[in-house]
């Protein structure tokens, strides 16, 4: 089958997509018809003609399909693009140049919705699930384009600074990482300065997701341009620079005593000091933890001994009490008799004699009363 049928199906699909009143149920059959016609068209040694037949579909797809908020429409579009890229490869570049940026915009994990969209679905959890599904479809499509096909990198590199979505910026960095690992160095040479500046900003971004994604791209960037390691050593943080020192030889980074070599030496010294300090702190922590554990164990042992020996203490106190009870009785028996009344009166008269003003008759009367009694 020639490309005539494919061109006819593409024209019919473009006409349907250009209609504002065309609903999702009218768009999906047209896209499937284009996919079936593409599957029946021989593409070997005829890639350029096939791409020319598909190219009229690029603009309506970028303007009407990818900005849509219908999940099925975007997923069907991404699946169709993956089919095109898998078969055509690098020949699909003219088509890819027109849809790569709209694909990035469709990959927002949380998209802004208008009033009609909010009224159609008020469930926030369903919004998040739909956005996650769309993001996965877009990521798969972009990864296939970046690895199998080719496109102009400048639009997506400029789009990184223009957009304010962390998820979209992570998608851009993801494509840069794939491109650096898939394209040849000759193809990447025109974008060296742009990629270097992009990675410099991303490596120092305030969002953790962006910094983590940029590290993978920066690793591929250093592997591609290892001869520029002396210049690239200024981009990462000191900890990342230490990883570069471990991965690449000192000859690759610097062969002189220039500022980069001094910076590398300083970073190495700092890292060694940090490791030594960390070892000392960890040693102190271990000693402190051992002391705490010993204190706890000794306390438990003491409580256990007290619990086990408490009945013995009670029994010993009882035995001591039984032994001392007869001794107490014998001690009471040895106490002498009380002094007699005569001795008391005599003592009273001696005190009265020392005081002449006091009447001494009271003592005699008390003595007679005691004798009569």
If one counts the domains in the chain, the total is 2
Report the CATH number that the domain containing residue 210 is assigned in CATH.
1.25.10.10
239 and 163 fall within a common domain: no
Residue 343 CB contacts under 8 Å (≥ 6 apart), including other chains: none
- Identify whether 160 is part of a domain: yes
- Identify whether 162 is part of a domain: yes
205 and 260 fall within a common domain: no
199 and 268 fall within a common domain: no
211 and 235 fall within a common domain: no
pLDDT at 337 over 70: no
Classify the phi-psi angles of 172: left when phi > 0, otherwise alpha if psi is within -120 to 50, otherwise beta. alpha
164 and 247 fall within a common domain: no
190 and 243 fall within a common domain: no
Find the mean pLDDT for residues 297-308. Answer: 67
Query: Torsion angle, CA of 302/304/309/310, rounded to 10 degrees?
Result: 100
- Identify whether 331 is part of a domain: no
pLDDT at 1 over 60: no
Query: pLDDT per residue over 181-234, tens digit each?
Result: 999 999 999 999 999 999 999 999 999 999 999 988 998 998 888 887 777 777
pLDDT of residue 260: 45
Answer with the residue of higher pLDDT: 358 or 70.
Answer: 70
Domain endpoint, select from 222, 253, 271:
222
Query: pLDDT per residue over 110-145, tens digit each?
Result: 555 544 554 455 555 665 676 777 788 889 999 999
- Distance of alpha carbon 332 from alpha carbon 314, whole angstroms: 27
Cα 140 to its chain centre, rounded Å, is 24
Q: Which of 125-134, 270-279, 307-316, 358-367 has the highest mean pLDDT?
A: 125-134
pLDDT of residue 227: 83
Find the mean pLDDT for residues 52-68. Answer: 87
Structure-token match 């970073």, residue found:
267
144 and 240 fall within a common domain: no
- Identify whether 214 is part of a domain: yes
Domain endpoint, select from 222, 252, 277:
222
Domain endpoint, select from 194, 222, 250:
222
pLDDT of residue 64: 80
The crossing angle, in degrees rounded to 10, of helices 93-106 and 71-88 is: 150
Query: pLDDT per residue over 237-271, tens digit each?
Result: 766 666 655 554 444 444 433 444 444 444 444 44
- Residues of the chain above pLDDT 90, percent: 29
Question: Which domain covers residue 83, as residue numbers?
Answer: 3-112+128-222
Q: Are 71 and 24 in contact (CB under 8 A)?
A: no
pLDDT of residue 353: 55
Long-range Cβ contacts of 363-369 (<8 Å, 24+ apart): 367/341, 367/342
**Which of helix, strand or coil describes residue 71?**
helix
154 and 291 fall within a common domain: no
- Identify whether 178 is part of a domain: yes
267 and 286 fall within a common domain: yes
Q: Which of 147-156, 267-276, 293-302 has the highest mean pLDDT?
A: 147-156
pLDDT at 354 over 90: no
Answer with the residue of higher pLDDT: 78 or 46.
Answer: 78
Answer with the residue of higher pLDDT: 94 or 127.
Answer: 94
pLDDT of residue 30: 87
218 and 230 fall within a common domain: no
Instruction: Write down the pTM of the prediction.
Output: 0.62
- Distance of alpha carbon 346 from alpha carbon 304, whole angstroms: 67
- Identify whether 119 is part of a domain: no
- Identify whether 367 is part of a domain: no
18 and 69 fall within a common domain: yes
pLDDT at 367 over 60: no
Find the mean pLDDT for residues 72-87. Answer: 90
Structure-token match 């769309």, residue found:
134
Mean pLDDT of the chain: 73
210 and 103 fall within a common domain: yes
Query: pLDDT per residue over 148-176, tens digit each?
Result: 999 999 999 999 988 888 889 999 999 99
pLDDT band of residue 86 (cuts 50, 70, 90) is very high
- Identify whether 356 is part of a domain: no
Least-confidence region, from 18-27, 38-47, 172-181: 18-27
């Amino acid at each position: 089958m020639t490309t005539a049928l494919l061109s006819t199906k593409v024209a019919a699909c473009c006409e349907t997509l250009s209609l504002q009143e065309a609903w999702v149920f009218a768009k999906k059959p047209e896209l499937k018809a284009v996919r079936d016609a593409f599957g029946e068209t021989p593409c070997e040694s005829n890639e350029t003609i096939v791409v020319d037949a598909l190219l009229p579909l690029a603009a309506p797809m970028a303007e009407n399909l990818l900005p849509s908020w219908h999940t099925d429409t975007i997923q069907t579009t991404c699946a169709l693009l993956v089919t095109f890229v898998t078969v055509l490869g690098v020949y699909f570049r003219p088509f890819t140049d027109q849809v790569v940026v709209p694909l990035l915009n469709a990959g927002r994990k949380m998209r802004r919705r208008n009033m009609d969209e909010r009224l159609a679905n008020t469930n926030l959890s369903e919004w998040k699930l739909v956005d996650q599904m769309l993001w996965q479809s877009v990521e798969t499509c972009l990864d296939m384009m970046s690895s199998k096909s080719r496109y102009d990198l400048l639009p997506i590199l400029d789009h990184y600074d223009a957009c304010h979505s962390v998820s979209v910026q992570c998608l851009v960095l993801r494509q840069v990482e794939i491109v650096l690992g898939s394209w040849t160095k000759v193809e990447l040479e025109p974008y060296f300065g742009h990629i270097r500046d992009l990675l410099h900003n991303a490596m120092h971004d305030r969002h953790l997701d962006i910094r983590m994604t940029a590290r993978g791209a920066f690793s591929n960037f250093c592997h591609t341009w290892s001869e520029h390691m002396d210049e690239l050593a200024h981009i990462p943080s000191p900890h990342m620079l230490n990883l570069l020192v471990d991965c690449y030889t000192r000859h690759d980074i610097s062969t002189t005593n220039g500022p980069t070599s001094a910076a590398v030496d300083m970073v190495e010294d700092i890292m060694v000091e940090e490791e030594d300090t960390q070892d000392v702190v960890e040693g102190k922590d271990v000693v402190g933890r051992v002391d705490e554990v010993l204190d706890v164990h000794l306390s438990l042992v003491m409580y256990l001994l007290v619990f086990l020996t408490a009945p013995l203490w009670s029994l010993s106190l009882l035995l001591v009490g039984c032994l001392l009870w007869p001794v107490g009785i014998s001690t009471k028996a040895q106490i002498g008799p009380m002094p007699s009344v005569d001795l008391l009166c005599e003592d009273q008269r001696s005190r009265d004699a020392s005081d002449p003003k006091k009447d001494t008759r009271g003592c005699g009367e008390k003595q007679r009363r005691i004798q009569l009694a």
